[in-house]
């Protein structure tokens, strides 16, 4: 995995973790965080994401696009970059 995408994943995970702690009443951050961590862990451990999903679908990007705006725009941008990277592998 390229170091730039690795850093992007790490920054996104950190930001989502912070937002999740700050707004514990909203499950959106937690929902997306779980899926982003899954992707990151799969890539770090050289696992095939499709095999690891076992037929399940990821929808973190749809949930993010529907729920994030304003102060979440950087996280939304990062998620878009992660999605673009994942779609190329």
Segment 10-66, tens digit of pLDDT: 999 999 999 999 988 889 999 999 999 999 999 999 999 999 999 999 999 999 999
Question: In degrees, to the nearest 5, what angle opens at C-alpha 58 toward C-alphas 1 and 34?
Answer: 75
N- to C-terminal Cα separation, the chain: 10
75 pLDDT more than 90: yes
89 pLDDT more than 90: no
Q: What is the pLDDT of residue 24?
A: 81
1 pLDDT more than 90: no
Q: What is the pLDDT of residue 77?
A: 95
| Dist. CA 16–CA 36, nearest whole Å | 9
The answer to whether residues 35 and 57 touch, using CB atoms and an 8 Å cutoff, is: no
Q: pTM for this one?
A: 0.93
Q: What is the pLDDT of residue 22?
A: 92
């Amino acid at each position: 995995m390229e170091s730039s995408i690795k850093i992007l994943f790490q920054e996104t995970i950190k930001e989502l973790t912070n937002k999740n702690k700050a707004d514990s009443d909203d499950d959106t951050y937690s929902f997306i965080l779980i899926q982003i961590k899954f992707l990151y862990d799969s890539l770090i451990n050289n696992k095939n994401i499709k095999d690891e999903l076992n037929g399940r679908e990821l929808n973190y990007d749809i949930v993010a696009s529907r729920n994030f705006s304003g102060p979440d725009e950087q996280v939304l941008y990062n998620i878009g970059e992660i999605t673009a990277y994942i779609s190329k592998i």
